[in-house]
Every structure is written in C-alpha cells, then in structure tokens.
Amino acid sequence: MMVSITFDVEHDCPPYLTTTRGMEDGLPGLLDLMEEKRVRATFFFTAEMARRFPGLVRRVLDGGHELGSHNYNHERLDRVSFDEGKKAIERSLEVLREFGDVVSFRAPNLQFPERYYGVLEENGILVDSSRATYKGYRSGVKFFGNVLEVPASTTSSVIRLPWRLQRIIHSRLKEPRVYFAHPWEFVPMQGERVRWDCRFNTGDRALELLGKLIDYYRSKGARFLTMGEYRELYGKLKRE
C-alpha cells in the first residue's frame, strides 16, 4: 500500500487572505508531527514563502523531506497567459533551487492546463501532482513525456472531517493514496472571513486528525512515499 502526505506551502487561505500564520505557527507544528511519526513528506513551496521564510525551507530539507514547487506566488495557471505561467514556473524554480534539488511540482488550486507539461520537462521537473481524482481525473499515474503525473486523491478538507467519516473515505481510495493539506489549516481559522470549509476543525484538531491518518496507514503496513520516490519507482517500471 502506497501513501503520500504532501503540503502546499502558501500564504493563508488564498485568495481570501494575505497573512502568514500558517508559516509562522502551522508549518513548525507540522514538521514536529512528521518528525514524531517518522514520515517523510513532500512540501510544495511557493517561491514567495521560501524567500520570506528560508529557515523553514532549510528545516524541511534537514528533516529529510522533499522540496517541490507550488509556483512563484500562487499564480493560477488557468488564469494567466501561457507566457506568464511559464515565467512564474521558471522563477519559482530559480528561487527554490537555491536551497536544493527540486524535481516535483503542484499547480495552485490543482488547475493545470496540459500544455504546461512541456514547460515542466524543459525545466527538469520529473513529477507533477496537479491533477486530482476527486476533480474527475481518471488516468491514474501516467507519464506525459518525461513527466510522471501522480494525482491527488482527495481535497485537503477531508483530513479534517470527523474520524468516523474519514475512515470510510480512506478505505475506498485507490492507490496510490495522495493526501495534501496546507500549513494554514493547522492554525485556528474559525474567526477568519473565509469559506466555511476553510474554517472547520482547523488548528490543533487538524493536527490531531492528521496524526490519526498516519497511524491508520502505519497499522496497515503502508509505505509512505515522496513524489520523487514515485518517479524512481515508475521510471524503473517504464524502463523494464
């Protein structure tokens, strides 16, 4: 059983807020949890957050996690011109690669026009996780040129549902099971003027539920993979 825990590291609840409470308080708590549970995750940083919080990027890498790109400043690729989108991707990689290797990408809001696969390949990206099965993507893990697509399995708010409901959802997912969340979900958002689904069970409760999710899969003998590890695994199968 293959499972991935991934995080989209951005400012708080875009496009509604411009604060960074998730970076200041949420991400450190997540890194503590990942260390406690001995799970390596993939952190898709916007370059803007990496630039503003370089110490957190270094802590991610020092913890053995994977650093990926979440574009430069959370630009939605379906709402900008192709040239603007291409430039944002390239600028994000320029900043992030000052910290270490970056071979994975996730588009903001999981909106990824297919023509950008070529841009990723040209810029040395080997794995993308911008598609989502819960949004109707049905092709599974698949190569687009030299870029391996590993789709997300559920929306991020699923991991904040009551555990009795979560277990039903988890049991029905197909492999690989790819979960994602955001640092801002792990600080209290109940008082913010954002959508309800961005507020419920945020803060310490979200952290507790993520710990339950990890324990659930560990009890089943699951293998936790980073995005780069999928590329190694499927690339090997492709060569064979």
pLDDT over 70 for what percent of the chain?
98
Contact between residue 104 and residue 228 where contact means Cβ atoms under 8 Å apart: yes
The residues pairing with 6 across neighbouring beta strands, listed in sequence order, are 42, 180
* CA 234 distance to own-chain centroid: 19
pLDDT of residue 238: 58
CB-side neighbour CA atoms (13 Å) of 27: 30
pLDDT digits (tens, 9 = 90+) for 49-66: 999 999 999 999 999 999
pLDDT digits (tens, 9 = 90+) for 118-176: 999 999 999 999 999 988 888 889 999 999 999 999 999 999 999 999 999 999 999 99
Domain borders along the chain are 2-239
- Give the confidence band of 235 by pLDDT, cuts at 50, 70, 90: confident
For residue 203, pLDDT beyond 50: yes
pLDDT of residue 156: 92
Average pLDDT, stretch 21-33? 97
CATH topology of domain 2-239: TIM Barrel (3.20.20)
pLDDT of residue 219: 96
Entry pTM:
0.96
Euclidean distance between CA atoms 149 and 151, whole angstroms:
6
Contact between residue 5 and residue 224 where contact means Cβ atoms under 8 Å apart: yes
Euclidean distance between CA atoms 160 and 162, whole angstroms:
7
Average pLDDT, stretch 93-111? 97
> What count of other Cβ atoms lies within 10 Å of the Cβ of residue 230?
23
Average pLDDT, stretch 208-227? 97
pLDDT digits (tens, 9 = 90+) for 176-199: 999 999 999 999 999 998 999 899
- Give the confidence band of 234 by pLDDT, cuts at 50, 70, 90: confident
* Region at 214 (left for phi over 0; alpha for psi -120 to 50; beta for the rest): alpha
pLDDT of residue 232: 87
